[in-house]
C-alpha cells in the first residue's frame, strides 16, 4: 500500500514458468514489502502491438526467493532490453524472484476491426 493506504501499482517486467508468473524486484522495495504483507496481487498485461488487447489476472504469491534472482533479472533484461546484464543493478541490492499463481484470468480481446 502507498502511505495513503491505497493500492500500489508498478510497471514490471514479467516472465512465466508454466502456469505461474515470475517477476523480479529487490528486497526492501515497496512492491516486495507489500507482497510480504499481503500476498494477493493483480496483474495487467497489455499487448504491445494492440493496446486494446489486455489480459488481467488476480492471483497470489506462492514463492519468494533470492536463489537465481540475479540470473532471472538478467534474462528479463535480455528479453525487454536486448542486453546481457541488467543495467540498473545496484551493488547494495539483493534481487528477489516472486512467483505468482493466477486465481482468475480475464481476457479482453480488443475492439472489433474497423471500430
Tell me the C-alpha distance between 34 and 1, whole Å. Answer: 6
pLDDT in tens, 33-62: 888 888 999 999 888 888 888 999 999 999
Q: Domains along the chain?
A: 15-105 (2.30.110.10)
DSSP state at residue 80: H
Query: For the segment 6-40, what is each residue's pLDDT rounded down to a tens digit?
Result: 777 888 999 999 899 999 999 989 888 888 888 99
Are β-strands 15-17 and 50-65 bridged in parallel, bridged antiparallel, or unpaired? unpaired
pTM (predicted TM-score): 0.85
DSSP H/E element including 9: none
Name the CA radius of gyration of the chain, rounded: 15
* pLDDT grade for 114, boundaries at 50, 70 and 90: low
What pLDDT does residue 84 have?
96
Mean pLDDT, rounded, for 84-100: 95
Cβ(43)–Cβ(56) below 8 Å: yes
Residue with the bigger pLDDT between 2 and 108: it is 108
User: In this predicted structure, what is the pLDDT of residue 108?
Assistant: 77
Amino acid at each position: 500500500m502507498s502511505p495513503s493506504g491505497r493500492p500500489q501499482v508498478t510497471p514490471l517486467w514479467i516472465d512465466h514458468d508454466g502456469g505461474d508468473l515470475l517477476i523480479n524486484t529487490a528486497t526492501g522495495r515497496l512492491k516486495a514489502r507489500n507482497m510480504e504483507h499481503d500476498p494477493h496481487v493483480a496483474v495487467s498485461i497489455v499487448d504491445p502491438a494492440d493496446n486494446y488487447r489486455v489480459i488481467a489476472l488476480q492471483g497470489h504469491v506462492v514463492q519468494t526467493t533470492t536463489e537465481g534472482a540475479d540470473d532471472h533479472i538478467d534474462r528479463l533484461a535480455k528479453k525487454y532490453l536486448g542486453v546481457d546484464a541488467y543495467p540498473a543493478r545496484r551493488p547494495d541490492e539483493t534481487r528477489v524472484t516472486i512467483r505468482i499463481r493466477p486465481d482468475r484470468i480475464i481476457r479482453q480481446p480488443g475492439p472489433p476491426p474497423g471500430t
